[in-house]
Copies of this chain bind each other. A is one copy, B any other.
Amino acid sequence: MNLVLPLRRGIIFIVSAPSGAGKTTLSRAAVREIGGLTPSVSLTTRRPRNGEVEGIDYRFVSEEDFQRRVDAGQLAEWARVFDACYGTPRQPLDEAIREGRDMLLDIDVQGARSLTARYPDDTVTIFVLPPSFEELEERLRGRGTESEQAIAGRLKRARDEFRAYPQYDYLIVNADLADSLRQLDAIVKAERLRVARLREEIAPWKS
């Protein structure tokens, strides 16, 4: 009898980082390169930024629509950040865990905390750090999309968020995208081999 590869539960990989550490670029590269990772598309009530596509970057909804989903218990977590709401739909996560598919979520510290509380056995959390504070500041300014005041707000928030790294499972220092992607790839491949994720007993032989 050959070993039929055992079914395992799906894994929710959660990537968080201070704003500007490069987590969005890294997450997208991961979905493209690693394989077997479905991105979660968040809901938001904020307006699209330049180039953002409905259904890919976010699902852009009204305040009323958002509130209705919150009330109906359709969100696994949600939060108000500055003057907009962001939330993660519950159903795709539940289905992925049940069906043994893996998802990748690019989400802030508060959202990560809510999701690990809700799915303690099925989440793997990764914190991405910029190599230095100066580089973080440069990256934020380099976007050219925000006012000085907004940048100052993001920097302050980044400093606060940074302190959350000890709550995470893994730490990646994002100095080079290719290196960071290799590190994330190793984390994904290793976590898929965890005994704790097996759904049933395995038996390579009968007798």
Contacts of A159 in B (CB 8 A): 205
Q: Scan A103-144; emit 1 where CB is below 8 A from any B CB, else 0.
A: 000000000000000000000000101111110100000000
Give the residue of B3, B127, B186, B206 whose beta carbon is less than 8 angstroms from that of A189. B186
30 contacts between A and B (CB under 8 A): A1-B132, A1-B133, A1-B134, A2-B132, A3-B129, A5-B173, A127-B195, A131-B204, A132-B204, A132-B205, A133-B204, A133-B205, A133-B206, A133-B207, A134-B205, A159-B205, A162-B205, A165-B202, A169-B194, A169-B196, A170-B190, A171-B198, A171-B202, A172-B193, A183-B190, A183-B193, A186-B187, A186-B190, A187-B193, A190-B190
Known: A3-B129, A133-B206, A185-B186. 10 other contacts (CB 8 A): A3-B173, A136-B204, A170-B190, A170-B194, A171-B193, A171-B198, A183-B189, A186-B193, A187-B190, A190-B191
